[in-house]
Amino acid sequence: MPLSEHEQRMLEQMERALYAEDPKFATALKGSGLRTYTRRRVYQAVAGFLVGIALLMAGMVAQQVWLSVVGFLVMLGCAVLAVTGWRKAPKPGEQQAAGAGPQARRQQRQKRSMMDRIDERWQRRRDEQQGGQ
C-alpha cells in the first residue's frame, strides 16, 4: 500500500531531521537495507548453485540418479532465487523510499495490474461520454 502525500512529506521531514541531527548515523542506516539484503541473497544463491553442481556431479560419479536429480533441483531453485534477487535489487543511487518523487510514482504506475489500467480507461471513456451528452 503506497503512502499518502501527507505521509510522504512527514517521512521526508523526518529523514531531513535525522540527517541534520546525526549525519554519520543516517548514512550508516542508508547503507544497510534492501540493496545489501538482495546482494547477500544473490551470493547465497550462487553458492547454492555451486553446491547443486557438486551434487549433480557426485550423483553421476556414484551412479545415483536421485542424487543427480536433487542436485539439478537445487541448481534450478538457486538460479531462480539469484535472478529474482538481482531484478529486485535497487540500482546504485536509486532512492529506497517508497514514495519519494516522480520516479517512484512512475514505478507505482508500472506496477499496477493490466486489469486496473483497463478498468481505469473504461471508466474514463464512460465519464467522457456522459459528460459530452
Handedness of CA 10, 16, 21, 25 (dihedral sign): positive
- One-letter amino acid identity for 78? C
pLDDT above 50 (res 122) = yes
57 closest CA partner among 74, 80, 82, 78:
74
pLDDT above 80 (res 110) = no
Q: pLDDT of 34-72, one tens digit each? A: 566 777 888 888 899 999 999 999 999 999 999 999 999
